Copies of this chain bind each other. A is one copy, B any other.
Amino acid sequence: MINFNKPYITGKEVHFIYDAVASGHISGNGKYTKICQKYFENQWHFKKTLLTTSCTDALEMCAMLLNIKAGDEVIMPSYTFVSTALAFVRQGAKIVFVDSRNDHPGMDENKIEELITAKTKVIVTVHYAGVACDMDKIMDIANKHELFVVEDAAQAIDSYYTGKDGIKKALGSIGHLAAFSFHETKNIQCGEGGLLAINDDRFIKRAEIIWEKGTNRAEFFRGEVNKYGWVDIGSSFLPSEVVAAFLWAQIENIDIIQKRRLEIWDWYSQHVDKLFEDFKFTKPSLPIYATNNAHMYYLVLSSFEERTLFIKTLKDKGLFPVFHYLSLHKSKYYSDKHDGRQLPNSDHFEECLVRMPFYYELEENEILKALSNQ
């Protein structure tokens, strides 16, 4: 049986957890939180990062930092995980959904500007499958209309965008703020976990406060104030050191993990035409400005019925591909709040996209063996 996902363990997670425990500091913002954050800042040139208990929480921090209030409008794709919207809805935002591109589940950059009103505050880009949205276009629109850009980079660790300036930039380092996920389905993971990346100095000091339950505890520990207290809104966004220590073992192995995942991705890309020649589908395409971080390998079948048959056929052979998002604009919670526009590309990916089993330890010959089952 080949499941869709199997979390990879490098073997050193428990070693670092022992070390964290031995240090006597297991609550948040200890040694491992700090070295994880430092790694991300150095590696991908974020100005400041903060580990969080989930990507949802990192997105909530974005919504709080941007002072999102009731009635503010936030533009984002409908074909995304519920948390992209949920985090802004919690602050009272109205979500304005953009359709996906027709060649990719990411949002159609050319359909954003027509949705901007006087109430629009933020554009949230989602780098689906770790493939960059066209950030030059999005940043130009945001700058023109004085909007903030949040990159939902949940799937986009170690992926890049090269725009008109020719400089290859890490996803999550381009918008004002960004959120990453370390959920067990991600390239590097700690079960549940996330990261807020801050690229605009204005947000750094307040982010530390919001992260630490609305207190100026960070300043206190740096000796900048002599006691700490309640100074702002916030929550308990920081994870246990147990989680941070686990994540550090994954970070140490990221190069090995990424190399292997890319091999698997390339193998799929080279073999799916032949392996699934009985089905009608398209393969993922990569825009010239984007890199592939091998987060997932997906196919887009020609119809919902075709996808249903595809999934059933593979399941019968012991392979478990899975569909993905349900369009948020049609969800039970939001359909009566949506402005009624049809989003046909989002619906198309909802009905036709399927994700192949994909994890570090997956072996190509296991797949071939399963597919040869009658």
Contacts and interface: CB of A to CB of B under 8 A. Distances in A.
Contacts of A55: 236
Contacts of A231: 331-333
Contacts of A173: none
A219 interface: no
B232 A333 contact: yes
B18 A14 contact: yes
A233 B191 contact: no
Interface in A262-318: none
A18 B17 CA distance: 11
A7 B28 contact: no
Contact of A331 (B6, B21, B56, B230): B230
A89 interface: yes
Given A190-B26, A232-B333, A332-B231, A82 B214 contact: yes
Given A21-B9, A326-B229, A239 B26 contact: no
A202 interface: no
A234 B27 CA distance: 24
Task: Please report whether the interface of chain A is mostly helix, strand, loop or mixed according to DSSP.
Answer: loop
A138 to B, nearest CB: 24
B235 A60 contact: yes
A139 interface: no
A246 B86 CA distance: 29
A15 B213 CA distance: 32
Contact of A334 (B6, B56, B230, B326): B230
A18 B14 CA distance: 7
B53 A24 contact: no
A13 interface: yes
A328 interface: yes
Contacts of A246: 240, 242
Contacts of A333: 214, 229-233
Contacts of A230: 82, 85-86, 326, 328, 331-334
Contact of A192 (B27, B183, B331): B27
Interface string A53-66: 11111001000000
B82 A191 contact: no
A241 interface: yes
A184 B238 CA distance: 13
A163 to B, nearest CB: 32
Given A14-B14, A26-B191, A27-B183, A56 B213 contact: yes
A214 B86 contact: yes
A230 B89 CA distance: 12
21 contacts: A14-B18, A26-B184, A27-B185, A28-B192, A53-B54, A54-B236, A56-B236, A82-B213, A82-B229, A83-B213, A86-B213, A86-B230, A86-B233, A86-B235, A191-B240, A229-B333, A230-B328, A230-B332, A231-B332, A231-B333, A240-B246
